[in-house]
A and B are shown apart, each in its own frame.
Chain A
Amino acid sequence: MPDATGLELIAQDLRGAHGDDAVLGTLFFRDRATLDVQPARVIDVLAFLRERGFGFLASVHGLDYYPEEPRLGVQYELIDMTAVDRITVRLRVPVDAPHVPSVTPDWPTADFQEREVFDMFGVIFDGHPNHRRILMPEDYEGHPQRRDFPIGGEPVVFTYNEKRLEGDGG
C-alpha cells in the first residue's frame, strides 16, 4: 500500500499531470488507499497509475449509494505486482445520466466486469466494444443489484402454509 503520504503524492502528481479537477479527493482508511476521480478522467487516471507500476486491474465493480447523490459508483482495484501494492480508484455518477468512459480498450480484463456492472447497476460504459447484459437474460428489464430494485422471489407452498397460499380450493 502507498501510505497516507504516498497517496497524497500520487494525487498531487495526478493533479499536476491532468489538471486540478481530475482528482476529487483521497481517502486513506484502514491501510487502504483510495482516489476519488472525475468520471470523465478515469481513463487518464488509470493510464497514469499504470505508468506508476499499477499494471494489473484486479477488479471493476459497481456500487449503489442510495439514497445519496450521486447515486451509482464504480470502483477500480489496481495492483502493483512487483511492489505488492494496491490502490483503489473510485468514481460516482448520477443515476439519471450514468455515463462512464469504458477502460476496456486499455484494460481488456475490464470487458466482462464492465458488462456485469452495467447488467447489475445500469452504469453505461461509453466506448465499450460489446455493451450487452452478461448475467441476466437479454430481455430482462431493470438492474437487479440497485437498492431500490425489489428482491423478487415468490411464496413457496409448504405443508405449513399451503392452506393460506392456496385458499380453500385445495
Chain B
Amino acid sequence: MEVTRQQLGAGGMKEFRARQLNAQQMLRGELEGPELEKHVEESVLTTTLDRAGRWAAANAMFPATFGLACCAIEMMSIVAARVDVARFGGEAFRASPRQADLLILSGRVSIKMAPVVRRIYDQMIEPRWAIAMGACSSSMGVFNNYAIVPADKFMPVDVHVPGCPPRPEALMHGILKLRAMVLARPDQSWRSRYGGRGTEEFTESELQIEPVGGGTASGA
C-alpha cells in the first residue's frame, strides 16, 4: 500500500472548504447520487484486509526484551537515536513473550539455554518471526564446541544477520529484510516453510464458536 502526499486541488482553500461541507453532508446522510460517488472516490482508500493486516504487522513489530550475550549490546543500540528502529515501528521491546512477535537471538545459545529459548519462542503470539543475530546463533562462530547449539537446530529462524557482533546498522538491515518479507509474502511464515501445520496452540476447529441461537437443543 503506497501513501503519497500531494497538494490539494487547484481551488486551494476554497475547494478544501467544499470538501469539508461534503463530508458533513455525507455524515448527515444528505449526500446522494453522483456527488456521493465522487466523495467516496476521493476520500476512501480500498485494500484487502490481508494486505492491511500485513502492512500493520510489518510496521509495528514488538521485539522481545531478550538479550543473550554481547550482541545484545548492539541490539539495544538500535532503539537509540543513531539507528532509530522507531522509524519502522519496532522500538517497543516487550518484556513478556506473550506481547512480542519478534525474537532477536542476540548471542550464543548454550545447550542448557536452548530449551528456554524455544519455550520463549513458543510463548510468543502469532504471527511471529525470529532473527538470529551474530555468528554464534547462526553458525556457532568461534564457539563451535561442546557447549553451543545453533538456533536452526531447535527453532525456525527467518533472517540470519552475520557479524561478530553485527553493527546496529546490520541488524537494522536484517529487520528491514524481515519487514519486506512480511509485507510481500505472508504465506512464507515458518509454518508453511517448515511444514508446521497442526502445531498451533489452538487449532482452527477449536476456535469455532457455536452460534448462540443456531442450536436446536431444547427441553433441558
CB of B141, distance to nearest CB on chain A (Å)? 9
The stretch among A17-25, A66-74, A153-161 that forms the contact with chain B is A153-161
Give B149 Cβ to nearest chain A Cβ, in Å. Answer: 9
- Point out the residues of chain A lying under 8 angstroms from B112, CB to CB: 135-137
Residues of B within 8 A of A140 (CB): 111
> A53 at interface (Cβ–Cβ under 8 A)?
no
A54 CA / B139 CA spacing, docked (Å): 46
- Whether A156 contacts B146 in the complex (CB less than 8 A), given A135-B112, A137-B111, A137-B112, comes out as no
Q: Which residues in chain A, 125-170, are within 8 Å of chain B measured between CB atoms? A: 135-137, 140, 144, 149-154, 156, 158
**Are the C-beta atoms of B146 and A153 separated by less than 8 Å?**
yes
How far apart are the CA atoms of A136 and B145 in the complex, in Å?
13
Residue B64 lies at the interface, judged by CB distance under 8 Å to chain A: no
Evaluate contact between A144 and B147: CB separation under 8 angstroms. Answer: yes
A158 touches B139 (CB 8 A): yes
| CB pairs A–B below 8 angstroms (18 shown) | A135-B112, A136-B111, A136-B147, A137-B111, A137-B112, A140-B111, A144-B145, A144-B146, A151-B146, A152-B145, A152-B147, A153-B140, A153-B144, A153-B148, A154-B140, A156-B140, A156-B144, A158-B139
Binding site for A on B (CB under 8 A): 111-112, 139-140, 144-148, 150
- The total number of A-B Cβ pairs within 8 Å is 29
B111 touches A153 (CB 8 A): no
Number of chain A residues whose Cβ lies closer than 8 Å to a Cβ of chain B: 13
CB of B113 to closest CB in A, whole Å: 10
Q: Is the interface of A mostly helix, strand, loop or mixed?
A: loop
Q: CA of A140 to CA of B112 in the docked complex: distance in angstroms? A: 10
Measuring CB to CB, which residues of chain A are less than 8 angstroms from any residue of chain B? Answer: 135-137, 140, 144, 149-154, 156, 158
The 8 A-B pairs at the shortest CB distance, nearest first, are namely A152-B146, A153-B144, A156-B139, A144-B146, A137-B112, A153-B145, A152-B145, A151-B145
A44 to chain B, nearest CB (A): 36
Shortest Cβ distance from B200 into chain A, in angstroms? Answer: 29
**Given A135-B112, A136-B112, A137-B111, A149 contacting B140 (CB threshold 8 A):** no
Bound CA span A151–B142, Å: 12
Q: Which residues of B contact A150 (CB under 8 A)?
A: 146
Complex: A150 Cα to B112 Cα, angstroms = 18
Given contacts A152-B147, A154-B144, 8 further A-B contacts (CB under 8 A): A144-B146, A144-B147, A151-B145, A153-B148, A154-B140, A156-B139, A156-B140, A158-B139
Task: List chain A residues, Cβ under 8 A from B145.
Answer: 144, 151-153
Known: A135-B112, A156-B139. A149 touches B146 (CB 8 A): yes
List of A residues within 8 angstroms of B148 by Cβ: 153
Docked complex Cα distance between A135 and B146 (Å): 12
Minimal beta-carbon separation of B81 from chain A (angstroms): 35
Contacts of B140 in A (CB 8 A): 153-154, 156
Give Cα A140 to B146, complex, Å: 11
